[in-house]
Amino acid sequence: MLPKFRLTLIILTMYTAIAGYWNRKKEKLKQLYPLITEEDLLFSEGKEKEMMERLEYKLGKTKEELRYVIEAL
């Protein structure tokens, strides 16, 4: 079992990597779809589904289409 400090450090490192990854993706999305706002792309833990639903509605895309667009960036 990992010490609590080490586990916390691992989780923090993973979160930082995910946040950096998302920041790069969202900048590319805003360039591709200028009508998207920063608020539309707000990523909060536990609120991913709501964010995706906002984007699906605003862009007129299905969940699958939106995931493809994001993965392709």
Give the pLDDT mean for 38-50: 84
- Report the percentage of the chain scoring pLDDT > 90: 33
pLDDT attached to residue 57: 94
Each domain of the chain, given as residue ranges in start order, spans: 26-73
Phi and psi torsions of 45, nearest 5°: -60, 130
pTM of the full structure: 0.69
Cβ(34)–Cβ(42) below 8 Å: no
Work out the angle between the directed axes of helices 63-72 and 4-32 (0-180°, nearest 10).
100
